[in-house]
Chain A
Amino acid sequence: MLSDTELDHIAELARVRVAPEKREQLKKDLSAILDYVEKLNKADTSSVEPLYQTTGLVNATRADEPREEFPMTEKLEELLNGQAPARKERFVKVKSILKKN
C-alpha cells in the first residue's frame, strides 16, 4: 500500500491536489495497479534492450526550411491566443512566478 508521504509526493509531481475524502480510495486504487504490475519482475529481461517505439524509424528529420502550412496571420494568432484565459495585448498573461519582497 502506498504511504501518505508517497501519495503526496506523486501528487506534487503530477501537479494535482487530492481531496482528503478521496485519499484512501486513491491509495487503494493505485496500490492495486502497482501490485498487479509487480508480475513483471518474473520476466527475465537481463539481456534485453528496451523498446520505446515500434516503427524502427531513427532520426526522422526534415529539411531545415520554412514551411508555409500555417502562415502566421492575425486570424491564426487570434485562434491560438484567443483562448487564453488572461491576455495582455498579444501576450498570454500569467500569475506571478516570483514573490515580490
Chain B
Amino acid sequence: MTANKNYTIKSAREDLDKGQISAQELFNYYRDKINTENKNLNAYLTVFDFPNSKFLIPNSLLAGIPCAIKDNMLIKGTRTTAGSKILENYIASYDATVIKKLRTTGVVFLGKTNLDEFAMGTSTENSAYGPTKNPLDISRVPGGSSGGSAAAVAADLAIFALGSDTGGSVRQPAAMCGIVGLKPTYGRVSRHGLIAMASSFDQIGPLTKTVEDSAIVLNTLCGHDIFDSTTVKKEVPDFTATLNDSIKDLTIGVPKEFFAMPTGRQGAGLSLEVAECVKTTIAKLETLGCKIKEISLPNFEYALATYYIAVPSEVSANLARFDGIRYGYSAQDGENLIDTYFKSRTEGIGPEPIRRIMLGAHALSSGYYDAYYLKAQKVRALIKKDFDDAFKDVDVMVGPTTPNTAFKIGEKASDPLALYLEDIYTVPLNLAGLPGISIPCGFGSQSQMPVGFQIIAKPFDEATLLRVAHQLEQALKTI
C-alpha cells in the first residue's frame, strides 16, 4: 500500500465489500501509518492490536472500520488516562455505553487519543503526556480538548474518532483541523463510561471526514441508557435518510452578536479572516435557496462567564473522586487519610484541572454560592430562553465555530483566560443543551489554516442540522 488513502467510512465500506481490502489489511494500513507518523503528532496515547472478533456483521456500515477513541472513554481491560498523571496506570473495568454500541456494529478500535487533562482545555497543550500537533502545521495546536481525535482523523490515522464536548471540545478541534465535529443534543448519547467533567454539559460526539460519516456514526451512538438517567427516551431517526432532502426555504438565523464581539483583550475578538470565510459561506447558503435572517441572542455576552462558573463548580465535585484511595496515582507517604488525599491530588493532577477545581470550590463555597453558582444558573436560564425565542423564527442558526484559526503551540499557554475565549461560540450550545456541528468552510487568508463553520439546531433536531451541513459541504466542494 502506498499513497494516503484518506478513507471515509463510505469509501472504506465500498473497498471492504468489494473485497479489495480485508478488515485486517485496513487495520494494518492504519497501524503502520500510526507507527510512522504518531511520533510527530502525538495524537495517540495507546494503540491496540487487531482483535480476534468477527466483523461480518450484516448490513452494518461500520463493520471492520478502524476508529480512534478519546482517552476519557472506557474500553474494558485497557488503559484510560484522561490525559492525567493521576490515571497513568488506570485499567478500565467495563466498556462505556458508546463503546458497547460501537462493538455491536463491528468497528475496530485503533487506539486511544490524547486530550487536555480531564478534557479541560482548547489546545491539547494541557495533557500530562505532551501536546498534540496540528497535522496541517505541526507548529500549531490542533484545538482541544479532543485534539488527539481531531488530529488522528485529519492526518488519516483513523477513519473516524469519538470525542467529548463540554464547551466545544469536539467542534473546536474539528474546526482547527479542517474536519467535521458534531455535538449531539444533551440527552441524546449516554455518558456512562465517559470520565465525567461537567455532568450537565458533557456530551459525546463523532469527529469525521464528512457529514455523511457523522450521520452514520451518530445513528449508532444515540438512545436511552439505564446507566445514564439524563438520556431521553426519544425515537432516534435514521440520520442518513434525510441528508439529501431539500433545504430550500429553510430559514437560517445569523445571530448579530456573533459578529459584534468586543475586541481589546488579545485574541478575544473575531478575527478578520474567520469573519470573511464565514460570511462567504452564509452567502453560499443563500444561493442554495435558504432564507437568511438576522436574529439576536441578547445574553450571548454572558455565555462564557456563565460557563466558567457553572463548569468549574461541577468539575470540583466530579474530580473529588480522584483521591488516591481506590485507583490511580496514590502518594504513599501520607501521614493519615486526609494527608493522602492532599498529596495524591497535588502530585497527580495538573495545573489546569487544579485551577478549575479551585474556582469551582470557591464558587460553591459558603458565602459565595449565591453570588457565583446560583447567579450563573440564572443567567444560564436567560441564555436558554434566548435560543428558544430565536428558534421560533428560524430552523437553524449559523456562525463561526471559533474566533481564530489554530494558533501556535505555546502562544496562549501562559494566559488561561485567552484560551477560554477560544470557546466563546461553542459554549452557548452546551449551556442550552443544543446540538451543533462544525464543518470546514475554507482557509484563513492570513494563517492559511482551516476555518470552521458552526451550525446550531433545535434540541433533538440533529436531522435538520446534518441535512443543512451535508448540502452545504457538497456546495462548498464546487467553489
What is the interface of chain A mostly: helix, strand, loop, or mixed? loop
Chain B residue, CB-CB nearest to A41 = B375
Say yes or no for A62: interface residue by CB 8 A criterion. yes
Contacts of A79 in B (CB 8 A): 91, 93-94
- Chain B residues whose CB sits within 8 angstroms of the CB of A34 once the complex forms: 359, 362
Kindly report which residue of chain B lies nearest to residue A67, judged by CB atoms.
B226
* Binary CB contact string for chain A from 36 to 60 against chain B (1 if under 8 A, 0 otherwise): 1111111101001111111101001
CB under 8 Å from chain A, chain B span 308-327? 308-309, 316, 320, 323-327
The answer for the CA separation of A39 and B334 in the assembled complex, in Å, is: 42
A residues near B247, Cβ cutoff 8 Å: none
Q: Cα distance A76–B89 when bound, in Å?
A: 18
Which of B326, B336, B342, B358 has the most chain A CB atoms inside 10 A of its CB? Answer: B358
Q: List 9 A-B contacts (CB under 8 A).
A: A13-B362, A26-B355, A33-B359, A33-B417, A39-B301, A41-B375, A57-B187, A83-B89, A83-B326
A-facing residues in B185-244 (Cβ within 8 Å)? 186-187, 200, 226-227, 229-230, 232
Q: Which residues of B contact A17 (CB under 8 A)?
A: 342-343, 346
Interface size class of A (residues with CB under 8 A): 35 or more
Whether B340 sits at the interface, judged by CB under 8 Å, is yes
Given contacts A14-B358, A30-B358, whether A70 and B94 have CB atoms under 8 Å apart is yes
Q: Which of B123-131, B159-167, B285-293, B376-384 contacts A (4 or more CB under 8 A)?
A: B376-384
Q: Which residues of A contact B (CB under 8 A)?
A: 6, 9-11, 13-17, 26, 29-30, 32-34, 36-43, 45, 48-55, 57, 60-62, 67, 69-70, 76, 79-81, 83-86, 92, 94-97, 99
Answer whether A37 and B230 are a contact pair too, CB < 8 Å, given A43-B379, A54-B384.
no
Rounded to whole angstroms, the CA-CA distance of A97 and B368 in the bound complex is: 30
Q: A13-B365, A40-B375, A97-B337 are in contact. Are A49 and B381 (CB under 8 A)?
A: yes
B341 interface hit (Cβ, 8 Å): yes
How many Å from the CB of B155 to the closest CB on chain A? 33
**Which residue in chain B gives the minimum CB-CB distance to A98?**
B336
The reply to whether A83 and B327 contact each other, CB–CB distance below 8 Å, is yes
Please state if B378 and A45 are interface contacts (CB–CB under 8 Å). yes
Q: Which residues of B contact A60 (CB under 8 A)?
A: 229-230
The 8 closest A-B pairs by CB, nearest first: A54-B433, A50-B377, A51-B381, A45-B378, A85-B330, A79-B93, A83-B327, A60-B229
Where the two chains meet, the residues of B that have a C-beta atom closer than 8 Å to any C-beta of A are: 89-91, 93-94, 186-187, 200, 226-227, 229-230, 232, 299, 301-302, 304-306, 308-309, 316, 320, 323-328, 330, 332, 334-343, 345-346, 349, 354-355, 357-362, 365, 372, 374-382, 384, 416-417, 420, 432-433, 459
Residues in B whose Cβ lies below 8 Å from that of A50:
374, 377-378, 380-381
**Smallest beta-carbon distance A5→chain B, Å:** 13
How far is it, in angstroms, between the C-alpha of A68 and the C-alpha of B41 when the chains are bound? 42
B332 / chain A contacts, CB cutoff of 8 Å = 85
Q: Cα distance A52–B382 when bound, in Å?
A: 12
Task: Please report the C-alpha to C-alpha distance between residue A82 and residue B285 in the assembled complex, in whole angstroms.
Answer: 56
Which one of B342, B374, B420 has the highest number of Cβ atoms from chain A below 10 Å of its Cβ? Answer: B342
